Amino acid sequence: MWVFPALVLATLSSWLLGVEGSTSTAIGCAVVAIALIKVRLVGLHFMELRNAPAALRVAFEIYVAVTGTTLLTLYLVL
């Protein structure tokens, strides 16, 4: 199964980006975006929401989209 290696790879990538100590907004946003992609992978594959009824899957997708958009907006605007 490709999901676990993908999650580990994404974790190591964001850790390397973060511990470099860069204060760049682009890097901060990249780290947040990677986190939300990981959340979506865990939800769809480990929580099995990809096989859930449409209403539950859509609720989860909206959650990820709204949380991600809000966080990225806050990091870009503030």
Phi-psi region of 30 (alpha: psi -120 to 50; beta: other; left: phi over 0): alpha
SS3 category, 53:
coil
Closest approach of Cβ 4 to another protein, in Å? Answer: 4
16 token code pair: 């390397």
Pick from 26, 58, 65, 66 the residue near another protein by CB under 8 A.
66
Cα–Cα distance for residue pair 78/72, rounded to 1 Å: 10
42 token code pair: 């865990």
Closest approach of Cβ 5 to another protein, in Å? Answer: 10
Q: Does 69 help bind another protein (rule: CB under 8 A)? A: no
Q: Which residues bind another protein (CB under 8 A)?
A: 1-4, 7-8, 11-12, 14-15, 17-19, 21-23, 27-28, 31-32, 34-36, 38-39, 41-48, 50-54, 56, 59-60, 63, 66-67, 70-71, 74-75, 77-78
